[in-house]
Chains A and B, each alone.
Chain A
Amino acid sequence: MIKNSQQLNAFAKEIQTKKEKYKGKTIAICNGSSCRALGADKITQLIRDEIKKHNLDVDVVNVLTTGCHGFCERGPLMIIQPEEIFYQKIKPEDVPEIITETIIDDRIIDKLIYNDPKTKKKIVYKPDISFYKKQMRLLFESNEHINPKKIDDYIGIGGYSALAKALTMEPEAIIEEILKAGLRGRGGGGFLTGWKWKFCRNEKNDTKYVICNAAGAFIARSISEGNPHSVIEGMIIGAYAIGAYKGYIYVRHGYPLAIENFNLAIESAKEFGILGQNILESGFDFEIVISRGCGEFIAGESSALIASIEGKAAIPRPKHIHATEKGLWNRPTLLNNIETWANIPFIINRGADCYASVGSEKSKGTKIFSLVGKVNSTGLIEVPMGITLREVIFDIGGGMINGKKFKAVQIGGPSGGLVPESLLDLHLDFDSLKEAGTIMGSSEMIVFDEDNCMVDTAKFFIKYLMDESCGKCTPCREGLVQMHDILCQITDGKGREEHLDMLQELAWGIANTSLCQLGKSAPNPVLSTLKYFKDEYETHIRDKKCPAGVCKALIEYIIDSEKCIGCTLCAKRCPVNAISGEKKNPHEIDPMICIKCGICYEVCPVNAVERK
């Protein structure tokens, strides 16, 4: 139990001194959900067994199971400190060697080090890897140094010192600091966080609530699993600043590890006297409850999320009265995104000026993005606001897979817009993204290459949003169905010239007459592709061709009899037996049976299968 900030300080010092004195190696193994799915928990166990087998003392080596390191695609990952040796794609059979070679004999294992896809150079140390080099990991860096299940680790890196500092400040002064830092809501809207806090502070009500929206996807999952205490610390500071005594963390039911780590974090914070009654002898009481939500896309909308915590269907309500006035159970409620909360301790500790020195003019600090799709290096990245798309895709992301041509990047999740090559020098911040016809939204960045059809992509997003629409407003519920129907006709080769105008008209109606942001932003994928890739729509409609070779109704597979060597591989792999031919003789595809799955195209060793 820690009673006051002096004791907290002393405890942190104690842990730090212990760490500084430690001369052995630390094996930090990522145990985030992605790495676990690739076998990290088994590897962790094997490492422990192997250490025991060699009778290695804790002074020589210790194992640290951490949260997500971000480079999920290369999992399972491990970083050996203090040298920061980066091992990737580790298999169970590599474990004995890691212990005997690297830990005992200080030798690098060649096959486990990272091979840069762009320069083809082998890179041993984590800071030299281009994926990490251009990042600025203010929030994420600590993931590699702490076990999220241990509060000691968090306190050891200076955790909860921001809380101790905040509790000596006047609530108004904290809000001023957040305002001065220029922090904008990471949930996508980009509203100034400090203003929200101020509105909530000014409400006269005995009961107020704070809520953390941790229901997002990739980013929310990694913060909740990797550093739950940073979120809790932010929430306590926020609650103190507005005068709330109860907080909710809304986590997806489908993220068991996130729920487990949050639960552990709350329990240990209570034991330490950091949560509960009379926090650090300040006289301030605060408790946090976990609300296990659903994976619905619409539950990310603030009023829908509040409805979900209340046990109702997640349907948004009009916002002429803000949640800061009447939110959860009709009480003033401060709802922030998980990433916003995680930023708070940094701002309080290092000061608003330090925070505001990072980022662009109107968007401060760093932003976490999920970088996925057709780039070489995928995963979670944290970059200063204002970095260009080109830097993210070609430096951090390492360029396109297989050297294909970049076509577009979609930013902000399903309802974001697609940005073409001509806008690659766009700066990533709230305002420039809006200007380019997309949104910050969920901060997902999905990269498309020449093999992706833009009409099909727009169709996919509209279908997604159509499924996820809560059904409250007619324009969104019905309009998206109509849009999807038109897009299906175009990709089925039944498109007509007037369809393009109809799509524009529907998009206008949905964007302007829906209640919530899901509806308002839903037409973005169509509007942006119509703006930047109109020629692709026209080719589908006029020539009945899909230039990228994706839309099944508009393509056919043919075997070039000149090239075919009769290896029978395609015939064996065809799921519907549409391919016939004698061994060592040219084969043929029966177009009446063919389902255009493309397997033959992929497996042919001599590229004799053509897609037209």
Chain B
Amino acid sequence: MKVNLSDTRKIIQQYRNKKGTLIPLLQEIQAIYGYVPKESIELISKELLIYPVKIYGILTFYTQFYLTPRGKHTIIVCQGTACHVMGGKDILDYLSNKLGISEGETTKEGMFSLERAACLGCCGMAPVVVIDNNFYGMCDIQKVDALVKEYRSKEANR
């Protein structure tokens, strides 16, 4: 698949000649493409005179960046301490089993990506699951089961 680089160009223009902006720049690229395409990395490197290795260094250091396309919906299961104590691991295991993918992977039909987070900062309603920036608190297996169904049927009705 060919990547349309005009958005990358626009973003690079915004960040040209500014100090310490590589991370926000990459965050914006990811916000548009859903991941950071190889082609964009090459362009950033050429335009801003940054070695690709430095960009890859950043991308692979921070867990928020993805180098491959994501599913339509990203499910993040919080694995922070509070969520762990309240059963967050069981939820992750269950979803991984149900969707047939490990964390960091995307289902074959491209519907769901499964991720873990170190802490999402709403520990009072642990365990927490986030689907596309929608937070769901006090989850259990039944609740996430219903959520997966809900997102699937939303897509089917589209």
Cross-chain contact B61 with A313 (CB below 8 angstroms): yes
With both beta carbons as reference points, the residue of chain B lying nearest to A410 in the complex is identified as B81
The stretch that binds A, out of B34-42, B134-142, B149-157, is B134-142
Contact check, A73 vs B124: say whether CB atoms are below 8 A apart.
Answer: yes
Are the C-beta atoms of B124 and A314 separated by less than 8 Å? no
In the bound complex, do residue A38 and residue B125 qualify as a contact, i.e. CB atoms below 8 Å apart? yes
Report A-chain residues with C-beta under 8 Å of the C-beta of B133: 256
Q: Which chain A residues numbered 376 to 410 have a C-beta less than 8 Å away from chain B?
A: 378-380, 410
Q: How far is the CB of B26 from chain A (nearest CB, A)?
A: 9
Contact A217 B62 (CB under 8 A): no
Q: How extensive is the interface on chain A, given as a class?
A: 35 or more
Per the bound structure, the CA–CA distance linking A75 and B138 in Å amounts to: 11
Interfacial residues of chain A within 473-510, with CB under 8 A of chain B in the complex: none
The answer to the question of B117 belonging to the interface, with a C-beta cut-off of 8 Å to chain A, is yes
Residues on B with C-beta less than 8 A from A311 are 19-23, 58
Residues in chain B near residue A253, CB distance under 8 A: 27, 64
B63 → A minimal CB distance (Å): 7
Interface string of B56-84 (1 = CB under 8 A from A): 01100111100000000000000111101
Whether A296 touches B20, Cβ cut-off 8 Å, given contacts A34-B124, A370-B123, is no
Contact A446 B136 (CB under 8 A): no
Assuming the contacts A294-B64, A460-B84, A464-B118, asked whether A575 and B97 have C-beta atoms less than 8 A apart, the reply is: yes
Contacts of A372 in B (CB 8 A): 81-82, 85-86, 123-124, 126
Chain A hits for B24, CB < 8 A: 291-292
Is A518 in contact with chain B by the CB < 8 A criterion?
A: no
Task: Please encode chain B, from 106 to 137, with 1 for each CB lying within 8 Å of some chain A CB and 0 for all others.
Answer: 00000000000111111111101000011111
**What A residues does B97 contact at CB under 8 A?**
575
Please indicate the chain B residues that have their CB under 8 angstroms from the CB of A310 in the complex. 19-20
- A309, CB-defined interface residue at 8 Å: yes
Complex contacts, B125 vs chain A, CB 8 Å: 34, 37-38, 72-73, 75
- Residues in A neighbouring B81, C-beta threshold 8 A: 372, 410, 413-414, 444, 446, 460-461, 464
Contacts of A560 in B (CB 8 A): none
A470 to B63 CA separation, bound complex (whole angstroms): 11
Task: Tell me the bound Cα distance from A524 to B118 in angstroms.
Answer: 19
Query: B7: which A residues are within 8 A, CB to CB?
Result: none
Determine whether the beta carbon of B63 is less than 8 Å from that of A221.
no
User: B90 on the interface (CB 8 Å rule)?
Assistant: yes
CB contacts (< 8 Å) of A447 on chain B: these are 85
Task: Pick from A255, A256, A296: contact of B62, CB below 8 A.
Answer: A296
CA distance A73 to B86 in the complex (A): 13
Question: How far is B133's CA from A75's CA once the two chains are assembled, in angstroms?
Answer: 19
CB distance from A367 to the nearest CB of B (A): 16
* A169, CB-defined interface residue at 8 Å: no
Q: Is the CB of B119 within 8 A of A217?
A: yes
A-B contacts counted at CB < 8 A amount to 142
Q: Does A158 contact B (CB under 8 A)?
A: no
B119 touches A295 (CB 8 A): yes
* Alpha-carbon separation in the docked complex, A530 to B149 (Å): 44
A434 to B84 Cα, complex, angstroms: 25
User: A252 to chain B: which residues have CB within 8 Å?
Assistant: 121
CB pair A218–B123 under 8 Å, yes or no, is yes
> Given A253-B27, A446-B81, A37–B136 Cβ distance below 8 Å?
yes
Is A104's CB within 8 Å of the partner chain B? no
- How far does the Cβ of B57 sit from chain A's closest Cβ, in whole Å? 6
A599 within 8 A of B: yes
Contact bitstring A279-313, B, C-beta under 8 A = 1, else 0: 00000000000011111110000000000111111
Q: Which residues of B contact A308 (CB under 8 A)?
A: 23
Distance in Å: Cβ of A528 to nearest Cβ of chain B: 14
B85 near A218 with CB under 8 A, answer no
The residues in A between 182 and 230 inclusive whose CB is less than 8 angstroms from any CB of B are: 216-218, 220-221
Partner of A293, one of B23, B61, B122: B23
B118 is contacted by which of A37, A293, A295, A378 (Cβ under 8 Å)?
A295
Give the residue among B27, B80, B94, B97 with the most A Cβ atoms within 10 A.
B80
Q: Please give the distance in Å from B24's CB to the nearest CB on chain A.
A: 6
Please report the C-alpha to C-alpha distance between residue A255 and residue B79 in the assembled complex, in whole angstroms. 17
Complex contact B82–A33 (CB within 8 A): no
Contact across chains for A373 and B82 when beta carbons are under 8 A apart: yes
Minimum CB–CB distance for A250 against chain B, Å: 11
B135 nearest in chain A by CB position: A37
**Chain A residues with CB below 8 A from B119, complex form:** 217-218, 295, 297
Least CB distance, A111 to chain B, in whole angstroms: 19
* Cβ-neighbour of A220 out of B19, B62, B121 (below 8 A): B121
- Whether A295 contacts B58 by the Cβ 8 Å rule is no
* B124 contacts A446, C-beta separation under 8 Å: no
Task: Please determine whether A221 and B118 come into contact, CB atoms closer than 8 angstroms.
Answer: no
A379 touches B63 (CB 8 A): no
Cβ of B118 and Cβ of A373 under 8 Å apart? no
Contact across chains for B141 and A295 when beta carbons are under 8 A apart: no
Say how far B44's CB is from chain A's closest CB, in angstroms.
12
Contact B122 A313 (CB under 8 A): no
Instruction: State the Cβ distance, A538 to closest chain B Cβ, in Å.
Output: 23
With a CB–CB cut-off of 8 A, which chain A residues contact B89?
460
Q: Once the chains are docked, how many angstroms separate the CA of A256 from the CA of B133?
A: 9
Q: B122 touches which one: A37, A216, A314, A374 (CB < 8 A)? A: A37
**A597 located at the interface, meaning its Cβ lies under 8 Å from any Cβ of chain B in the complex:** yes
Q: For residue B60, which residue of chain A has the nearest CB?
A: A313
> Quick one: which of A325-384 are within 8 Å of B by CB?
329, 370, 372-374, 378-380
Q: Contacts A75-B137, A311-B21 known; list 4 others, CB within 8 Å.
A: A33-B121, A218-B82, A373-B85, A452-B85
A-B pairs, 8 with minimum CB distance: A72-B124, A37-B135, A372-B82, A311-B22, A221-B121, A311-B20, A313-B61, A34-B122
8 A-B residue pairings within 8 Å (CB atoms): A37-B134, A217-B80, A294-B62, A296-B118, A310-B19, A311-B22, A313-B57, A575-B94
